[in-house]
Amino acid sequence: GAGVSQTPSNKVTEKGKYVELRCDPISGHTALYWYRQSLGQGPEFLIYFQGTGAADDSGLPNDRFFAVRPEGSVSTLKIQRTERGDSAVYLCASSLLPRGNEQFFGPGTRLTVL
């Protein structure tokens, strides 16, 4: 079956612009996660959705970052007033159940802020 998909695969933007990154989880997976991976680092947790609600957003770095999952499936990560330090690969993952289940990762969106 289809895995987790993310669009776009690459996004180049200018400092100060607004960007949206999309994640399509595996069908039927109730839990969805966003991570950010900077160069030379492991993925860092941003936010976790259980259904439509954000169950844990403790990893969002500041209020420029926001994510939604209005129908409990597709999620969008939104970044306002982008900064060069936001440049990273943004990874999305989904799992069938919230706890203890394998998280299946998408290929990521590489965001470059010029």
The footprint of another protein (CB under 8 A) covers: 3-4, 31, 33, 35, 40-45, 48, 55-56, 58-59, 91, 93, 95, 98-100, 102-108
| Min dist. Cβ of residue 5 to another protein (A) | 10
CB of 66 to another protein, least distance (A): 18
Alpha-carbon span 108 to 7, nearest angstrom? 8
Amino acid, res. 35: Y
CB of 105 to another protein, least distance (A): 4
Minimum CB distance to another protein smaller for 10 or for 15: 10
**Residue at 31: amino acid letter:** A
- To another protein, the closest distance from the beta carbon of 15 in angstroms equals 26
Q: Identify which of residues 4 and 82 has a Cβ nearer to another protein in the complex.
A: 4
By beta-carbon proximity to another protein, the closer residue of 12 and 55 is 55
The CA–CA distances, whole Å, from 27 to 22, 68, 69, 72, 85 equal 15, 17, 14, 10, 33
Q: How far is CA 43 from CA 17, 38, 53, 92, in A?
A: 24, 7, 22, 10
